[in-house]
């Protein structure tokens, strides 16, 4: 199995969920050079009712160019 990697030119789709419910709509991005950059972007752009409350969120990062996906669990 290959490692999940992101290049700045890749088209990325990000899904954000809390307890299986979608927090924000799926959005397509590009310009991220690492997984940490994408996670930090998501955390900074969470809705106000999730910021700073320590709720567990699930982040799904899909690389549309390579067809790979990465699922992360983190706290807001």
Model confidence pLDDT, tens digit, residues 14-63: 999 999 899 887 778 888 888 999 889 888 888 888 887 888 999 999 99
* pLDDT at residue 16 in the model: 92
User: pTM above the 0.75 mark?
Assistant: yes
pLDDT at 1 over 70: no
The token duo for 9 is: 């030119």
- For the chain, domain boundaries: 12-75
- For the residues 8-19, what does the mean pLDDT come to? 92
* CB < 8 Å & 24+ apart, contacts of 34-43: 34/6, 35/4, 35/6, 35/61, 35/70, 35/72, 37/6, 38/6, 38/12, 38/14, 39/72, 39/74, 42/14, 42/16, 43/74, 43/76
């Amino acid at each position: 199995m290959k490692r999940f990697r992101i290049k700045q030119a890749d088209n990325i789709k990000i899904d954000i969920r809390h307890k299986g419910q979608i927090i924000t709509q799926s959005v397509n991005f590009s310009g991220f050079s690492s997984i940490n950059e994408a996670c930090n972007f998501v955390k900074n752009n969470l809705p106000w009712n999730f910021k700073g409350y320590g709720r567990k969120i699930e982040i799904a990062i899909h690389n549309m160019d390579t067809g790979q996906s990465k699922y992360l669990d983190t706290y807001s």
